[in-house]
Amino acid sequence: MPTTTYDQVSVVKKATISYDGRCSSHTVLFEDGSKKMLGVILPCDESVHEYEFATHTSERMEIISGECEVKITGEEEYSYYRAGQAFLVAGDSGFSLRTDQIVQYVCHLEG
């Protein structure tokens, strides 16, 4: 069964907010030094057709709820992801994401 909670962690109080509040996340710090980000992305609309994100370290994006289409830098086509699935993005890269619903995610910072 997938983990639904994280125990014995610290949370950075200040959120990372982008796209005028349409994307937000909080960083979770673990005792072993690892980090994750818990976030929410609001649906695209006429003002934002897709979101673009840069990565500094490799990331595994685990979709917790919702569904989206993702195009990782260097790929030609979008791929579809829904709750329970994940995608990998290399460090010093990026990805585009589009969705018509709220997406909740866990970003596992792996680098």
Contact 62, 83 (CB under 8 A): no
Q: Hey, CA dihedral for 26, 59, 8, 105, is it positive or negative?
A: positive
Q: Residue 1 pLDDT > 60, yes or no?
A: no
pLDDT of residue 2: 61
Q: Is residue 23 part of a domain?
A: yes
In this structure, is residue 89 part of a structural domain? yes
Tell which residue, 48, 84, 46, has the closest CA to residue 65.
Answer: 84
- Sorting pLDDT into bands at 50, 70 and 90, what band is 110? confident
Q: Are 48 and 19 in contact (CB under 8 A)?
A: yes
Domain extent for 66: 9-109
Q: What is the pTM of this model?
A: 0.93
Model confidence pLDDT, tens digit, residues 22-52: 999 999 999 999 999 999 999 999 999 999 9
Q: What is the CATH number of the domain that holds 34?
A: 2.60.120.10
Is 93 part of a structural domain of the chain? Answer: yes
pLDDT in tens, 55-106: 999 999 999 999 999 999 999 999 999 999 999 999 999 999 999 999 999 9
Euclidean distance between CA atoms 93 and 107, whole angstroms: 15
| Overall domain count for the chain | 1
Considering the domain boundaries, does residue 77 fall inside one? Answer: yes
What's the DSSP call for residue 22? Answer: T
**Residue 7 pLDDT > 90, yes or no?**
yes
CA gap 63, 79 in Å, rounded: 13
